Amino acid sequence: MPWKSSCFAITFLFVPFLLQCKALQLLEQQPQATQREVNDTISEPTSLVQLIYFTPQDRPFKQRIVDQIELQMGVVQTFFADQMEAHGFGRKTFSFEIDVKGKAIVHRVKGQFPDKHYLYNTTNKVETEIGEQFSLSKNVYMIVVDISQKYINGAMGFGSSRRGGQSGILWIAKSGFQSQIIAHELGHAFGLSHDFRNERFLMSYGSFHLSSTRLEKRQLSKEAAEFLDASRFFNPNRTFSSQFQPKIKIISSLEYPPSADSLRIIFELSDPDGLHQARFHTNPNITDKNLARFSRGSPAFKASKRLNGQEMTVEFVYELSKVDVHDLWLQVVDSKGHFGTKSFSVHLQK
């Protein structure tokens, strides 16, 4: 597959506070009862990835896809373990739901409507139905959508984190059923935003050479590994007594004089669980029009600081470009893997 189309794959990004996609309304048909063909004898532990295979009412389940989901998840799980180990965090990785024999549990959900219902505004429609059966608030859900078209909502896949690192969701279209896309979107679902500092990074789009988009050529940045070290999905045996999210306060001016080429921004941070990492993001400066369509206006990682203690003051230096309004984000994660994000902008002095 040419890179041009696979880079769209990786696109829709992590914006935890935005809902995806504006709807195109289609005529609805009378719903039939949703079936859930699942061996559901195992209770759902928290903080793992649950796998859902969704087909419209008039499309058959394919065992081949179920087998592929299990295979790909194993590859992606090992990738994260290898990368975490390479950065000195041990072989930490996420878990996905398995049965007593150690086989992946793939929840098969049959839609209430035929295929044509799901061709537009796919994720909202599918989520409404899946939400009737799954709480979607505890775990990360990977939803493989088998509709007749290659893309869902115009992309091969996308993911986002929810509830400050307590849950997340990723959507994989037929064309996005590749380990590098699943790993990138899982990264978003765990709370990582894009990181275009190096094309080898998992959270970048890769380069225009097809081989560098392959998962075995990608790497987690050390800052991403440090973030995941605290994630509840990488610490499945931890108990969570508190749900605090870090508090973020800006205590320096957000105006800069005409002569300035950079601005120091100072933050006051606090969290009773202990602070773990502060991550500074800017609006990505992507020149490729197609890629910019998916990434402008959402955070791209620039720098981070390792934190300690319940209260800290940290500073980041923002290099000013020639644009007058600068969108910025600070994401702060605590030792329990809960995070908060503050979006703000800096302005030229009037």
Contacts of 64 (CB under 8 A, 6+ apart): none
- For Zn ion, the binding residues (CB under 5 A) are 10, 13
Residues 304 and 333 sit within 8 Å (Cβ to Cβ) = no
Among residues 105 and 192, whose Cβ is nearest to Zn ion?
192
DSSP element (H, E) containing 213:
helix 210-213
Q: What gap in Å lies between CA 223 and CA 37, rounded to an integer?
A: 40
Smallest separation (angstroms) from Zn ion to the CB of 113: 29
Q: What gap in Å lies between CA 66 and CA 248, rounded to an integer?
A: 43
- Dihedral sign (CA 231, 48, 161, 190): positive
Among residues 13 and 330, whose Cβ is nearest to Zn ion?
13
> Hey, what are 325's tokens?
């309004």
DSSP element (H, E) containing 63:
helix 63-86
Instruction: Say whether 51 sits in a helix, a strand or coil.
Output: strand
163 closest CA partner among 184, 194, 141, 143? 141
Among residues 270 and 343, whose Cβ is nearest to Zn ion?
343
Smallest separation (angstroms) from Zn ion to the CB of 256: 30
Smallest separation (angstroms) from Zn ion to the CB of 9: 9
Residues 109 and 205 sit within 8 Å (Cβ to Cβ) = no
> What is 113-150 written as a DSSP string?
S-GGGGSSSHHHHHHHHHTTT---SSSEEEEEE--SSS
Smallest separation (angstroms) from Zn ion to the CB of 291: 10
Instruction: Say whether 269 sits in a helix, a strand or coil.
Output: strand
Smallest separation (angstroms) from Zn ion to the CB of 184: 6
Residues 323 and 268 sit within 8 Å (Cβ to Cβ) = no
Among residues 113 and 158, whose Cβ is nearest to Zn ion?
158
Q: What gap in Å lies between CA 107 and CA 98, rounded to an integer?
A: 11
Among residues 5 and 32, whose Cβ is nearest to Zn ion?
5
Among residues 208 and 315, whose Cβ is nearest to Zn ion?
208
The residue nearest Zn ion at its CB is 13
Smallest separation (angstroms) from Zn ion to the CB of 63: 30
Among residues 13 and 170, whose Cβ is nearest to Zn ion?
13
Among residues 186 and 330, whose Cβ is nearest to Zn ion?
186
Smallest separation (angstroms) from Zn ion to the CB of 109: 25
Q: What gap in Å lies between CA 90 and CA 32, rounded to an integer?
A: 48
DSSP element (H, E) containing 18:
none
Smallest separation (angstroms) from Zn ion to the CB of 71: 23
